[in-house]
Structure 1
Amino acid sequence: MTTTTSPQKTGSPAIGSQVRDYFERVRGGDLGALPAVIGLVVLCAVFASLSPSFLSPINFANLFTQGAGVTVIAMGLVFVLLLGEIDLSAGFASGVCAAVMAVLLTNEGWPWYLSVLAAMVTGVLIGLVLGVLVAKLGIPSFVVTLAAFLAFQGVALILLDEGTNISIRDETILAVANSNLPPLLGWAVLVVGVLIYAGIQLTQMRRRLGRGLLADSFAVIAVRVGALAVVSGVAVYVLNLERSRNPALISLSGVPIVVPVILVLLIVWTFALHRTAYGRHVYAVGGNAEAARRAGINVDRIRISAFVICSFMASIGGIIAASRANSVDPNTGGSTVLLFAVGAAVIGGTSLFGGKGRVLDALLGGAVVAVVINGMGLMGYSASVKYVVTGAVLLLSAGVDALSRKRASASGRR
Structure 2
Amino acid sequence: MQKKDLGLAVLIIVVGAIVYLRNPLFLSPINLGNTANLIGLFGLFAIGQGFVIMTGGIDLSVGSVIALLGVLFVDMVGKLGVPWPVAVAVIIALGALMGLAHGLLITRFKMQPFVVTLCGLLIYRGVARGYTAEATAGFPFGASFPQLEWLTIGRSFGMPHSFIAMVLVAVVMWLVLHRSVFGRHLYAVGKNEEAARFSGIKTGFVITSAYVICSVLAAIAAIYFAMFTKSVQPSSHGNFYELYAIAAAVLGGFSLRGGEGSIVGVVLGAVLLQELQNLVNLLGIPSSLNFAVMGTVILLGVLADQQFAAYRARKRAAQALERLQFEEGHAHERA
Do structure 1's residue 290 and structure 2's residue 194 form an aligned pair? yes
**2:153/2:224 contact within 8 Å kept:** no
Aligned-partner SS, 2:261: coil
Instruction: Give me the whole-angstrom Cα distance separating, in 1, the residues matched to 2:253 and 2:151.
Output: 28
1:133 corresponding residue in structure 2: 105
Map 1:12-411 → 2, pairs under 5 A: 31-167=3-139, 169-181=144-156, 186=157, 254-331=158-235, 333-411=237-315
**2:36/2:159 contact within 8 Å kept:** no
**1:130/1:145 contact within 8 Å kept:** yes
**1:175/1:323 contact within 8 Å kept:** no
Instruction: Give me the whole-angstrom Cα distance separating, in 2, the residues matched to 1:261 and 1:328.
Output: 21
Deviations 1:300-346 (A, max 9, x none): 11111111111001101111111211222214643231111111111
**2:54/2:259 contact within 8 Å kept:** yes
TM-score by length of 1: 0.73
Alpha-carbon distance, 1:128 to partner: 0.6
Q: How many matched pairs?
A: 315
Instruction: Give me the whole-angstrom Cα distance separating, in 2, the residues matched to 1:359 and 1:370.
Output: 17
Instruction: Give me the whole-angstrom Cα distance separating, in 1, the residues matched to 2:168 and 2:85.
Output: 18
Aligned-partner SS, 2:44: helix
Instruction: Give me the whole-angstrom Cα distance separating, in 2, the residues matched to 1:160 and 1:174.
Output: 24
Q: Evaluate the alpha carbon distance shift between residue 385 and residue 40 of structure 1 in structure 2; reply closer, same or farther with a 3 A threshold.
A: same
Instruction: Give me the whole-angstrom Cα distance separating, in 2, the residues matched to 1:352 and 1:309.
Output: 18
Instruction: Give me the whole-angstrom Cα distance separating, in 2, the residues matched to 1:337 and 1:324.
Output: 16
Alpha-carbon distance, 1:61 to partner: 0.7
Instruction: Give me the whole-angstrom Cα distance separating, in 2, the residues matched to 1:293 and 1:333.
Output: 39
Alpha-carbon distance, 1:157 to partner: 1.3
Task: List gaps (5 residues or longer) in structure 1.
Answer: 1-21, 23-29, 187-253
TM-score by length of 2: 0.89
Identity %: 32
Counterpart amino acid of residue 79 in structure 2: N
Over 4 Å off, 4+ runs: none
Alpha-carbon distance, 1:177 to partner: 4.3
Counterpart amino acid of residue 82 in structure 1: M
Instruction: Give me the whole-angstrom Cα distance separating, in 2, the residues matched to 1:161 and 1:104.
Output: 16
Counterpart amino acid of residue 292 in structure 2: V
Alpha-carbon distance, 1:178 to partner: 2.6
Alpha-carbon distance, 1:31 to partner: 4.1
Instruction: Give me the whole-angstrom Cα distance separating, in 2, the residues matched to 1:300 and 1:285.
Output: 9
Alpha-carbon distance, 1:351 to partner: 1.1
Alpha-carbon distance, 1:392 to partner: 1.6
Task: List gaps (5 residues or longer) in structure 2.
Answer: 321-335
Alpha-carbon distance, 1:408 to partner: 1.4
Instruction: Give me the whole-angstrom Cα distance separating, in 2, the residues matched to 1:343 and 1:333.
Output: 19
Deviations 1:264-315 (A, max 9, x none): 1011111111121111110110011111001101111111111111100110
**1:131/1:308 contact within 8 Å kept:** yes
Instruction: Give me the whole-angstrom Cα distance separating, in 1, the residues matched to 2:146 and 2:114.
Output: 38
Counterpart amino acid of residue 396 in structure 1: L
Q: Evaluate the alpha carbon distance shift between residue 408 and residue 338 of structure 1 in structure 2; reply closer, same or farther with a 3 A threshold.
A: same
**2:137/2:233 contact within 8 Å kept:** yes
